[in-house]
Structure 1
Amino acid sequence: MRVKDLKKKSGKRIDTKYIQSLGIQSYGDDNLYPQTLRNIIAASSTGSECAERFANFIEGNGFREVTFSEYIVNRRGDTADDIHAFVCTDVGSHDGLALHVNYNVLGNIVELQYIPFENCRLLEEDENGYVAKIAVHPDWTGKKTRKGKAIQVNRDNIDYIDVFNPRKEVVLAQIEAAGGIEFYKGQILWVGGNGKYVYPVSRADRVVTEMSTDEGLANVKYRNVRCNFMPSGMIVTKRGISPVHLDEDGKPIEENKSSEDTGFSDTIIQLQGDTNAAKILEVTLESDEEKPEFVDISSKNYDKDFTVTDTSVVERIYSAFGQEPWYCIRIGKVGFSGDILEDAFEYYNSIVSKQQRMIERAFQKIFAHWYEPVNLSNDFSVQPLKYVRNATVSNSNR
């Protein structure tokens, strides 16, 4: 089928529109794309496992330059390695990062802070295609609270911070416009994997349907074990004739059977789930059967109905994250040995190299304008993860 014949069936992954009341470009139709995606990943056991491995390999063993990695970069005591770890999680989940920098009166960077990428939104472009500021809110869902009150999503609770531009004349002009260094909010280096000032599409986005299906399959398995009926059978016995009660006129009193509590509902609950398996249900009737009757009850196992779906969903999620070697190990297609794991580690380090270079360039841009030299080698590369055969070897192999 031709591409133009499919364009009506395939839409944009992220819908962006202008929210005039806030002066921002929405990140998704409801402006909650990263938050929604994060929840989808977290609800999928396979998706969260793959996303965590992806972020771990991006982080590697931290910066090669140990001295730089231990350098304190802000008043909170965070080191460069701490900021790097936070950023790698965002790059793994959202394919983007946001770093906040503060300047001194001389226009030099003196502080670096991490900002969660999902907290940032882009302002609308000007006539030159330039985005001047980044809008930052602690929770765009409006559910986060401070002093017991929700932080509403409005202009009063949003910080509009200048985008990263370390040229001294620009910084000094911004400080003067803010009314002095004490009122200056600094700048944000915002980087997205889809291009300059374009909301990125996460690697996980390509399998959001599969990850949601993975969550649904887990729910089916849960209900199959916890809520399914698993008694071994049912015994039906007869009940004796109830005595007839007469009123003052000698007329029989009709019993209100509809209001009679048989306790059957409670019995049903007691027969559900794994802890109540193989129990026998006894049902007493008012009819005149001469002997008890045993009725076999065969429970329905739904796991078999979803075996193919389960397998294909897991395979596609692993494939989307480029983790085929671990999938092959998982299903037993290849053996589990040190050589195979070493090859898997080497292979996946090549997969995450693009994300690592994006982070390296971001740190290099910032520390090129730091108020003092802290990385004389100018090496901001990351030491890749390696499979360690000997479990007794120290985790620190820098």
Structure 2
Amino acid sequence: MKTYLPQIQRRILVRPNQTFGILNYDLDNAYPQRMLELVGQSPTAKDCWNKRAKFIAGIGFEQPDLGKQLVNSCGLTLAKLLKAIATDKALFRGFGLHINYNANFKISSVNYVKFEDIRMGDTDDAKTAEKFGIYNDWGRRSWKNIMRSKITFLDKYDPGEETIKKQVFAAGGWDKYKGQLYYFNPEVDDYPLIEADSVWEDFETEAGIKIFNNREVTTGFLPSTMLFMQSRREEADNSSDRGYRNAPSQLEKDLGSFQGAKSAQKIIVIEYEDESAKPEFQPYAIQNNDKLFESTERSVEARIIKGFSVPKELINSEKASGLSNGSEKKEAIREFNDNTAADRIELSETMAEVFGHFYTNLNPSGNWNIVPVPANVADDALALKAGAAINELLLSAIPSHNKIATLVHAYGFKQTEAEAMVGEGLDN
């Protein structure tokens, strides 16, 4: 008897692309572009991505006013740069920085590069090995073909003076030198999978549920029905000089305009000459989609949240909005801060490395630590919500004793405190 292990297909395949001198990011060279589209169509995935990016960036640098420092002539500040690379790291687990040098071999400017625009150079091509190709349309959304002449190749980051001299000489001088790329990649000689890659199919599923719900609304929740009618003769409005065949008849146009949320109260009148020409509508039973989609949506949402490793209390805010859930949300913030601590350390180390070679000392203290999101934001949000509810209660027209009872039993105030807030005896 022979045994074997079933082969699990790799999520992405990296292959040399000799035409462009790069390594393809999956077979179609558009893995990050596809993932961006899927995340953009999935509300839960996009929310998880935003939450993860927010926690990685924290509330900025620990060193006061460090975020206001400019890093290039285009007005990019350290705070904006931190937010940009934290956003890429939250989804792609990597990021890119374009580094330019001056003639003193010091970094003169730093620019953010979208991670999805970066491709590693073909290691078998002497001209592009140890380089990175930058192009803004690998997914071919704007143009049908990729033009190699528009791909910008940057050298791999290395601030060593001798390395820079060799690169400048190879480029033909400082005026032709394009700089280097600092490419943060958690993988070794390979492209990284996105955060939550294991559940990207659920992104697509949630997007499909959204489309289904939209279709139900635009068709006025019309039950599935079959229309039986005699073979029609081509109507006069079906013929045209353009020679279209099987153009919709007037009946089909009327039925189409009859559907939809805005047409729910319309009446359609159908004329027929005899009983044999009378259209017949027959509904057919289908599975209860409402219940099916409701349970599917819940399970899909839960898997996406788990895939991003985000505590559910930070995503399902409507399910954790009561006063009793303040401690749970605070604990969720602490947990997520711990989860993203390594990411913040990596960004801090990157900043220290890159700007340690900057032409001017932006941070004399040498402190590049990033402050995590404080857990007391949960208390603040909770207090605002509770305060608004209490104010609404006090301004309402219900009797004073009902207000006092609500303050005591629902909000935990003492009897004397509640009476003082309401002004007991005013409406007795």
TM-score by length of 2: 0.74
Structure 2: stretches of 5+ with no match in the other structure: 224-231, 238-248, 276-280, 384-428
Find the counterpart in structure 2 of residue 208 from structure 1.
200
User: 2:317 and 2:369 mapped to 1: Cα distance?
Assistant: 31
Q: Secondary structure at the match of 1:66?
A: coil
Cα-to-partner distance string for 1:177-211 (whole Å, 9 max, x where unaligned): 3232222111111011223x421111131111111
Write the mapping of 1:159-238 to structure 2, written as runs, cut at 5 A. Answer: 159-195=152-188, 197-228=189-220, 230=222
Structure 1: stretches of 5+ with no match in the other structure: 145-149, 232-255, 289-294, 394-398
Instruction: Name the structure, 1 or 2, with higher relative contact order (CA <8 Å, separation 6+).
Output: 1
- State the AA in 2 paired with 1:177: A
Instruction: Give the count of matched residue pairs.
Output: 355
- CA RMSD, aligned part only? 3.4
- State the AA in 2 paired with 1:324: P
Is the aligned partner of 1:364 residue 2:352? yes
Write the mapping of 1:287-306 to structure 2, written as runs, cut at 5 A. Answer: 287=274, 302-306=289-293
Write the mapping of 1:140-159 to structure 2, written as runs, cut at 5 A. Answer: 140-144=138-142, 150=143, 153-159=146-152
User: 1:218 and 1:181 mapped to 2: Cα distance?
Assistant: 53
Is the aligned partner of 1:309 residue 2:301? no
Q: Secondary structure at the match of 2:5?
A: helix
Q: Shift of residue 320 of structure 1? A: 0.5
CA contact (8 A) 2:216 2:222 kept: no
Q: Shift of residue 119 of structure 1? A: 0.9
Find the counterpart in structure 2 of residue 5 from structure 1.
5
Q: Shift of residue 78 of structure 1? A: 0.7
CA contact (8 A) 2:313 2:320 kept: no
Q: Shift of residue 325 of structure 1? A: 2.8
Cα-to-partner distance string for 1:1-57 (whole Å, 9 max, x where unaligned): x99523x2x111110000012211111111111111101111112111111211121
User: 1:281 and 1:105 mapped to 2: Cα distance?
Assistant: 79
Write the mapping of 1:1-398 to structure 2, written as runs, cut at 5 A. Answer: 5-6=5-6, 8=7, 10-125=8-123, 132-144=130-142, 150=143, 153-195=146-188, 197-228=189-220, 230=222, 259=235, 263-277=250-264, 279=266, 281-287=268-274, 302-326=289-313, 329=316, 332=319, 335=322, 337-386=325-374, 387=377, 389-390=379-380
Find the counterpart in structure 2 of residue 292 from structure 1.
none
User: 1:274 and 1:230 mapped to 2: Cα distance?
Assistant: 10
Cα-to-partner distance string for 1:216-263 (whole Å, 9 max, x where unaligned): 1111111112114549xxxxxxxxxxxxxxxxxxxxxxxx96537884
Q: Secondary structure at the match of 2:105?
A: coil
CA contact (8 A) 1:221 1:303 kept: no
Q: Shift of residue 174 of structure 1? A: 2.0
CA contact (8 A) 1:108 1:371 kept: yes
- State the AA in 1 paired with 2:58: G
| Closer/same/farther in 2, CA of residues 64 and 4 from structure 1, 3 Å limit | farther
| Closer/same/farther in 2, CA of residues 32 and 311 from structure 1, 3 Å limit | same
Q: Once structures 1 and 2 are overlaid, which stretch shifts more, 31-40 or 279-288?
A: 279-288
- State the AA in 1 paired with 2:146: V
